[in-house]
Amino acid sequence: MRAFCYALCLVIKVICRGFSIELLTP
Residues 1-26: pLDDT tens digits? 899 989 999 999 999 888 888 887 77
pTM of the model: 0.55
Cα–Cα distance, 22 to 3 (Å, whole number): 29
- Buried b or exposed e, range 1-26, using 16+ CB within 10 angstroms: eeeeeeeeeeeeeeeeeeeeeeeeee
Cα–Cα distance, 5 to 22 (Å, whole number): 26
